[in-house]
Amino acid sequence: MSSKVTNRIALSVIILCAAVMAGILVSLLSYILFKGVTNISWQFLTTSASPFLAGGGIKDQLWNSFYVLIITMILTIPIGVSGGIYLAEYAKPGRLTSFIRTCVEVLASLPSIVVGMFGMLIFVNYFGFRFSVISGALALTVFNLPVIVRVTEDGFRALSLHQKEGGLALGLTHWHTIKTILLPAAFPSILTGIILSAGRVFGESAALLFTAGLSTPDLNFSNWNPISPNSPLNLFRSAETLSVHIWAVNTGGIMPDVSRIANGSAAVLVVCVLLFNLFARALGKMINQKFSGK
Amino acid sequence: MIQMEKNIVSFNNTVDVEEMPVQISVENVNIYYGENHAVKDVNLPIHEKSITALIGPSGCGKSTFIRTINRMNDLIPGARCEGSLLYKDVNILNPKVDVVQLRKEIGMVFQQPNPFPKSISENIQLPLRFAGVRNKKTLNQVTEDCLKQVGLWDEVKDRLDRSALGLSGGQQQRLCIARALALKPDVILLDEPTSALDPVSSAKIEELLLELKNSYTIVIVTHNMQQAARIADYTAFFYQGELIEFGKTKTLFTNPEKKSTADYISGRFG
């Protein structure tokens, strides 16, 4: 076989694989959106769920998903970014560093249901946080932390050594070089990574089943006092998120319009995650343009 | 020898002026990377307000040596130096030396222009702010002075708040020199500052260095022998980690003592 033919075959196989992948994504997305988009209405998004009557919405679940996401990010970003900076800039190659790196990798590959069980034992039972927003957010922190550490470390490593040398040669300390030169330069890639991981956290269900719970108290959206039990901001109330809701209505829902709710919720979830991705891209591009001065 | 003479276009015509006092005295400096003995027993004077060029083939230790003068090699794991580099009666290699302070007095410009992904003015003001300068007027004045010194002011004065990455390679390198000048160092080290630039930009930088040497001590590593001949007052020839020959540029190029120096500058190897 001539090398030209081999080249053609290899190219065709690669294109075929790429097409299969794109095909799966497109068909999955169009199926979910086709079945679900017609169920999305303003009323669906702004009505509370009804346990057994038809016509329930997903207002509380949608709010819970975003609320848990925000709390998770508040917990994860400072720890994860600091950890990533440590690994990229300060850690000297050696036993301790490789141990920490192994920990991060193992943590990243833990099945989310295991993280959920761990969360239940530690946060729900041991610390007595019950099924709550904070338990859910802490479990998701365990789940999300390694991703942020990784994204930060990679962002720093992708910077050329020239930047760091430039800072140090001007008589800046190591920390000041990191703070004023390296972190801003790595910021676009770190931010993109954070937003992409937000999509993953937003759609997570298994880790939340045993930590944030399967129910939501009657939320009063005019009560923003965070210690009041029916306030949307209360950290110690149970909080069923959107993806948990999809699982719950599909496995045990007794309302007559189960499929309508499940399809609609799935479409909302997918659209949100899609928006996260598009937003991450647009933002990355914008910041990049600003930095490169073009 | 005849061919060699042709190679060399012109000499820095200030070589014959009286010798300036020694600013940094290098005595028995040895540098190791782990087991690798990269620089062997180097002794040479670096004269104040003069240009000293370090030449030699790739891997001869000249970059390693220049990076030791402001302790940039501290960043490289396994690098180790012995001997003494006396500057203001202090051995730079002493671990107790405050490298942050040292690098304010001995600045460095690298081969690859490395402006920070910030605006042009921020690039110059960043080290000043860290050094404690807060006054806006002073900051702007120093920015203007430094950019004028490197001949960049007229090219960029209307876009000081735009990203420095939008400048051309040659402009970026002159910005990096301006940035190093902002701290008013005594010595400026340049590690092949023109090898990533086109000939026109290189010529501008050479011109600039000849001007700067009136106020600063300059040490430059270069691959380009003509460049050394054009601008340097003193030249040091490194080969395989050893300092083969050091002397006034004109003497070294026209009447080298060692055979390998003659071979290198006449293009027989390297």
Q: How far apart are CA A187 and CA A81, in angstroms?
A: 10
Chain B residues in contact with A187 (beta carbon < 8 A): none
- Contact assessment for residue A265 and residue A242, using Cβ atoms and an 8 Å cutoff: yes
B contact test, residue of A170, A180, A287, A292 with most B CBs within 10 A? A170
- pLDDT for the residue numbered B144: 93
Q: Which residues contact B265 (CB under 8 A, 6 or more apart)?
A: B4, B7, B55, B225, B237, B252, B253, B256
- A186: nearest CA partner in chain B: B117
Instruction: Map out the domains of chain B as residue ranges.
Output: 2-265
- Contact: B130, A160; criterion CB under 8 Å: no
Pick the CATH number of A42-292 from 3.40.50.2000, 3.90.1150.10, 3.30.70.2080, 1.10.3720.10: 1.10.3720.10
- 134-173 in chain A: CB under 8 A from chain B: 160, 162-173
Which band of pLDDT confidence, cut at 50, 70 and 90, is reported for residue B107? very high
- Indicate if the pLDDT at residue B9 is higher than 60: no
Query: B7 falls in which pLDDT band (50, 70, 90)?
Result: very low
**Cβ partners under 8 Å of residue B230, min gap 6:** B9, B10, B11, B12, B206
Give phi and psi for A36, each to the nearest 5.
Answer: -100, -35
Q: Is B34 on the interface with A (CB under 8 A)?
A: no
At residue B16, the pLDDT reads 53
User: Mean per-residue pLDDT for B4-17?
Assistant: 50
CB-CB contact of B167 with B175 (8 Å): yes
pLDDT band for position B2 (cuts 50, 70, 90): very low
At the topology level, CATH places domain B2-265 in Rossmann fold (3.40.50)
What pLDDT is stored for residue A289 in this prediction? Answer: 78
For every residue of A69-95, DSSP letters joined together read HHHHHHHHHHHHHHHHHIIIIIPPSSH
Residue B5 banded pLDDT, cuts 50, 70, 90: very low
Quick one: pLDDT at residue B1? 39
CA distances (Å), origin A109, targets A81, A102, A144, A199, A210: 19, 11, 11, 17, 19
Give yes or no for B118 touching A (CB within 8 A): yes
Name the residue ranges covered by the structural domains of chain A: 1-39, 42-292
The 3-state secondary structure of chain B, one letter per residue: CHHHHHHCCCCCCCCCCCCCCEEEEEEEEEEEECCEEEEEEEEEEEECCCEEEEECCCCCCHHHHHHHHCCHHHHCCCEEEEEEEEECCEECCCCCCCHHHHHHHEEEECCCCCCCCCEHHHHHHHHHHHCCCCCHHHHHHHHHHHHHHCCCHHHHHHHCCCEHHHCCHHHHHHHHHHHHHCCCCCEEEEECCCCCCCHHHHHHHHHHHHHHCCCCEEEEECCCHHHHHHHCCEEEEEECCEEEEEEEHHHHHHCCCCHHHHHHHCCCCC
Closest Cβ–Cβ partner in B103, B116, B130 for A163: B116
Angle value at C-alpha A44, between A42 and A46, nearest 5 degrees:
70
Q: Name the residue in chain B with its Cα closest to that of A294.
A: B166
**Which residues, 6 or more positions from A144, have their beta carbon under 8 angstroms from its beta carbon?**
A72, A73, A76, A80, A197, A200, A201
- Residue B186 phi, psi (nearest 5): -90, -35
Which DSSP state fits A229? Answer: T
Helices marked H in A47-182: 59-85, 95-109, 112-119, 133-158, 161-169, 174-177
Is A127 within 8 Å of chain B by CB? no
Q: How far apart are the C-alpha atoms of B129 and B168, rounded to whole Å?
A: 26
List pLDDT tens digits, range A103-157. Answer: 999 998 999 999 999 999 999 999 999 899 999 999 999 989 999 999 999 999 9
- What is the pLDDT at residue A28? 93
Distance between CA atoms of B164 and B121, rounded to whole angstroms? Answer: 8
Give me the tens of pLDDT residue by residue for chain A, a chain 294 residues long.
789 999 999 999 999 999 999 999 999 999 999 999 888 888 888 888 887 787 788 989 999 999 999 999 999 999 999 999 999 999 988 899 999 999 999 998 999 999 999 999 999 999 999 899 999 999 999 989 999 999 999 999 998 888 999 999 998 999 999 998 999 889 888 998 998 899 889 999 999 999 998 888 888 888 888 888 888 888 899 999 999 999 998 888 888 888 888 999 999 999 999 998 898 888 888 887 777 655
pLDDT digits (tens, 9 = 90+) for B222-257: 988 889 999 999 999 999 889 999 999 998 998 888
Tokens of B153: 């002011």
> Which tens digit of pLDDT belongs to each residue from B180-199?
999 999 999 999 999 888 88
Q: What is the pLDDT of residue A287?
A: 81
- Cα–Cα dist B72/A294, whole Å: 32
Q: Does A180 touch chain B (CB under 8 A)?
A: yes
Beta-carbon neighbour count of residue B100 at 10 Å?
17
Residue B58 confidence class, pLDDT cut points 50, 70, 90: confident
Residue B52: the pLDDT is: 94
- For residue A71, what are its two tokens? 């709390």
Please answer whether residues A276 and A196 qualify as being in contact, where contact means their C-beta atoms are separated by less than 8 angstroms: yes
Q: What is the pLDDT of residues B117-130, one digit of tens each?
A: 889 999 999 999 98
Kindly state the average pLDDT of the residues B138-158: 91
- Does A166 sit within 8 Å of B114, measured CB to CB? yes
Per-residue pLDDT at B12: 55
Smallest Cα distance from B66 to chain A, Å? 12
In whole angstroms, give the CA distance from residue A257 to residue A264. 11
pTM comes to: 0.82
Whether residue B15 has pLDDT greater than 50: no
What is the reported pLDDT for B17? 56
Cα→Cα distances A181→A74, A164, A172, B159, B239, Å? 24, 8, 10, 21, 36
Neighbours of B144 (CB within 10 A): 15
DSSP code, position A181:
I
Q: Which residues of B touch A176 (CB under 8 A)?
A: 130
**Which amino acid is residue B70, in one-letter code?**
N
B107·A160 Cβ contact <8 A? no
